[in-house]
Amino acid sequence: MESGYRIRRPRRDELAALPEIERLAAERFASVGLAEVMSQIVTPVELLRERAQAGQVWVAAGEEDQPVGFAVVSVLDGNAHLDELDVHPEHGRRGIGSALVETVCEWARATGYCAVTLSTLRNVPWNAPLYGKLGFRILLVRELTPALLQLLESEARLGLPMEDRVLMRREV
């Protein structure tokens, strides 16, 4: 990650700003025709508050110590699950997303989880290909547990494009 940024826990008063970062980050999906659907699905502030209280939210803060990106995790199937990762487009391509992923993986390992899972799009360059470079692998259909299949069903109900959706896992 470039200098001038740091990963930290969010302050309570910052949580309300995170959905706007998520919406702005969704604009990047315009190049693959998904900006509209992706910008309509944002993490509710109430959920961010719950996860922050549980120690499952991190922000990337810029030079003025304001959030420019964030990661949210949950526990799914006995592993850490990366629910959301977003970086404000003005701060993209500086290693912030990768640093957030590494922070999540370090937390998962320190907390006693064996792996981190996530769901993403297979052919979007900053989705599955990037996670692959960070040590995640696409799960085979036979590896999908009932909980992971239920996650895919809930994502479909939200309106996410499922034809290119994959689940990935990284051992920690």
pLDDT computed for residue 142 by the predictor: 96
pLDDT computed for residue 63 by the predictor: 86
Output the pTM of the full model.
Answer: 0.95
Q: CA-CA distances (angstroms) from residue 14 to 3, 6, 60, 69, 82?
A: 22, 15, 12, 11, 20
Structure confidence by residue, pLDDT tens digits, 36-79: 999 999 999 999 999 999 999 999 999 899 999 999 999 999 99
- Cα three-residue angle 13-20-72, rounded to 5 degrees: 70
Distance CA 12, CA 71 (A): 15
pLDDT computed for residue 64 by the predictor: 92
pLDDT computed for residue 17 by the predictor: 97
Structure tokens at 91: 């701060």
pLDDT computed for residue 1 by the predictor: 85
pLDDT computed for residue 107 by the predictor: 98
> Where in the chain are the domains?
6-171
The backbone region for 143, taken as left when phi is positive above 0, alpha when psi lies in -120 to 50, beta otherwise, is: alpha
Structure tokens at 131: 């996670």
Cα end-to-end distance, the chain, whole Å:
20
Q: Which CATH class is domain 6-171?
A: alpha beta
**pLDDT < 70 regions, the chain:** none
Q: CA-CA distances (angstroms) from residue 100 to 31, 32, 122, 153?
A: 24, 24, 20, 26
pLDDT computed for residue 12 by the predictor: 95
pLDDT computed for residue 104 by the predictor: 98
Q: Which residues pair with 59 in a beta bridge?
A: 8, 70
